[in-house]
Amino acid sequence: MPRRLRYQVASSLDGFIAGPNGEYDWIVMDPAIDFNALYKEFDTALMGRKTYEVGVKAGYAGVPGLEAIVFSRTLPAATQPGVRIVNDDPVDTVRALKKTPGRDIWLFGGGTLFRTLLDAGLVDSVELAVMPVLIGAGIPVLPPGGISKLVLSHQKTLPSSGIVVLSYSVPGGTAAPPIRYVRGRRTKKSTPRPKGKARAAAKVKGRKPGKPKARRS
């Protein structure tokens, strides 16, 4: 199967992936999301300069266990452990990258890079973890531009946090994968409990709920 380019991000309910200054402290955490399992689906992460600089300020430069490629017109090209900063055209770079063997490619952010690669027909899926939060302003999921129709492939709701995970396939690309990184709840099989008078009768030793015994006259 060809390598997929997957735009996989957290989003507020009003369509922002970060606050006005790159803030992401509004993101809700849920133990049902297995981030280790998510990371194993990729071997490469793509990001723009702004997303990279937000990470650097927070104390990390890349994505754990993945090779991060940062596209920038202003930062000098450089190679660091786990991070490669390039000044190349993202479209040419990603088109070539998708032809090489490997796992899926994570389009980590931000929205401007997403717009560029979406318009070039290189994005295969749009996967949003929609937070039950309204932040009012910030960096949008996608900057203004042309309309792109998507096809809903998978969805999961996390009741404890209110997060809704949505996975859309982009027509013309490779279909989005199932949402495997959300842990399912284990449920115990239970026997239906008797109701009403039958339940009361069942408490009597040696009696089972069912038809009442006929009375002797």
pLDDT level of residue 190 (50, 70, 90 thresholds) = very low
- Percent of the chain residues past pLDDT 70, beyond the cut: 85
pLDDT higher than threshold 80 for residue 7: yes
Write out pLDDT tens, residues 19-49. 998 899 999 999 999 999 999 999 999 999 9
pLDDT higher than threshold 80 for residue 120: yes
- CATH architecture label of 5-169: 3-Layer(aba) Sandwich (3.40)
Write out pLDDT tens, residues 146-169. 999 999 999 999 999 999 999 999
pLDDT higher than threshold 50 for residue 217: no
pLDDT score for 63: 86
* Sequential DSSP letters for 12-58: -TTSEEE-TTS--TTPPP-TTB-HHHHHTTEEEEEEEHHHHHHHHHH
pLDDT higher than threshold 50 for residue 200: no
Distance CA 125, CA 171 (A): 9
Distance CA 211, CA 202 (A): 11
pTM: 0.82
Which residue(s) pair with 158 in the sheet? 163
Write out pLDDT tens, residues 122-141. 999 999 999 999 999 999 99
Helix (H) or strand (E) holding 130: strand 125-130
**For the chain, what is the mean pLDDT?**
87
Residue-wise over 83-121: b if at least 16 C-beta within 10 A, else e? bebeeeebeeebeebbeeeeebbbbbbbbbbbbbbbeee
Q: Cβ(176)–Cβ(153) under 8 Å?
A: yes
Mean pLDDT of 174-197: 66
Nearest to 157 by CA among 174, 182, 177: 182
Mode of pairing for the β-strands spanning 104-109 and 42-48: parallel
Structure tokens that stand for 114 in this block: 């997403």
pLDDT score for 209: 45
pLDDT score for 185: 55
